[in-house]
């Protein structure tokens, strides 16, 4: 996945409301976190440099081998 495609998918996943809303329902937030984490993993596994850098900077969130 290219960096551009990753950025597009991340923006689509978060949606414009993410930056405009100061409160989310807890369940909605958990679902969003799960979607974003899965997107980062998928992109990193497909060679996206930005996603791979994120995985390396978040060692408590992502486990690598």
In a domain, 26, yes or no: yes
Which is nearest to 36 in space by CA: 4, 11, 16, 5? 11
In a domain, 65, yes or no: no
Q: What is the pTM of this model?
A: 0.87
In a domain, 64, yes or no: no
CB-side exposure of 64: number of CA atoms within 13 Å?
Answer: 14
The rounded distance, in Å, linking the Cα atoms of 2 and 28 is 28
The rounded distance, in Å, linking the Cα atoms of 7 and 25 is 25
Token pair, residue 30, equals 């958990």
In a domain, 51, yes or no: yes
pLDDT profile of the chain (65 residues), mean per 10: 96 91 89 96 96 95 85
Structural domain including 8 reads: 3-57
The reported pLDDT for the residue numbered 15 is 92
> What does the DSSP 8-state code read for residue 46?
T
């Amino acid at each position: 996945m290219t960096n551009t495609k990753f950025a597009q998918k991340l923006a689509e996943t978060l949606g414009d409301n993410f930056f405009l809303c100061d409160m989310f329902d807890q369940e909605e937030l958990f679902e969003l976190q799960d979607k974003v984490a899965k997107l980062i993993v998928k992109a990193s596994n497909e060679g996206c440099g930005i996603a791979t850098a994120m995985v390396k900077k978040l060692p408590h969130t992502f486990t690598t081998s």
